[in-house]
Amino acid sequence: MSVTERIVLSASRRTDIPAFYMPWFMEGIAAGAFTVTNPYNGRTRRIEVTPEKVHTIVFWSKDFGPMLGRGWDLKLRDMGFGLFFHFTINSENRILEPNIPPLQERLEQLNELCRRHGARRVQWRFDPICHWHDAAGRTRNNMQDLEQIAAAAGRAGITSCVTSFVDLYRKVVRRTAASPIAFFDPDADAKTELILSMETALAARGISLQTCCERQVLENLPAGSRITASGCIDGRRLAGLDGPGASLRRDTGQRTGSGCRCTVSVDIGDYRLHPCRHNCLFCYASPLAPDGGGPP
């Protein structure tokens, strides 16, 4: 018997809805629909968002505090919505990520998400890995808190981590021109060495490593590595949580050429109407002319 395909709602790759726009999101849920604008051609369409129409709501955030504090996640679950959470937790660095909560607060949020919904519904992202030269010309990266985060994630029941290297879009390079650091892209050997050391550190905590849109990195790994490509929105994984009905078709609107394995979803975020206030130095998003995919 065929199963009717239902929407996987992405909320959102384009901004941080759980941190900044949950009242707006809950208004849309109450109304039963969102009007979504395509950021590239300006066309709009109405997306119905009832539990009968939506298979899973996939949230992406660096700060789930507002959602958890108001219990909006529990309300959505009680309404019958399937939920999945992408939680980006990177090392604490106020130059890179000036407006996110302290690391310990974010780790407590991670634990609470796993307690409420089960660790299978929570994906930890350490994203992106950044390399830069500081004002003194020294080479730096943002890996210093990885062990602490991995330890907390392992205790919470997290079993996988998704990562990628920073993409140096033109807007990112322009933004860093006024900062005390200058990003650079390491060579293939340096990336391989770092990602393998990351794999080893995470494996000690029972956590596997996946990459997001890093085809060349994967191709350079030795045969013994167990690092795999991520499908950050994975219809098969979601079906395992909430039953059949999530699309299993590859999302051709994502960066398939770079190795993206995501399945089809509908993103309801808007660069212009919902600008992200984290103001991360490496962020690809912009109220003007978005030029690449990826999570907040």
d(CA 253, CA 234): 15
pLDDT of residue 286: 54
pLDDT of residue 2: 60
d(CA 210, CA 151): 17
Q: How would you classify residue 120: left for phi > 0, otherwise alpha for psi between -120 and 50, otherwise beta?
A: alpha
Domain residues of the chain, as ranges?
A: 7-126+146-172+186-267
160 touches 209 (CB < 8 A):
yes
pLDDT, tens digit, 9 for 90 and up, residues 125-138: 999 999 999 999 99
Report which of 40, 45, 58 is spatially closest to residue 247, judged by C-alpha positions. 58
d(CA 271, CA 289): 9
Mean pLDDT of the chain: 93
pLDDT of residue 7: 97
Q: With a cut of 80, say whether residue 294 has pLDDT above it.
A: no
d(CA 109, CA 153): 11
CATH 1.10.3470 at 7-126+146-172+186-267, yes or no: no
| The pair of three-digit structure tokens given for residue 106, joined into one six-digit string | 């974010």
Report which of 8, 1, 50 is spatially closest to residue 236, judged by C-alpha positions. 8
Q: What is the mean pLDDT of residues 256-274?
A: 89
Question: What confidence category does residue 296 fall into, taking pLDDT thresholds of 50, 70 and 90?
Answer: very low
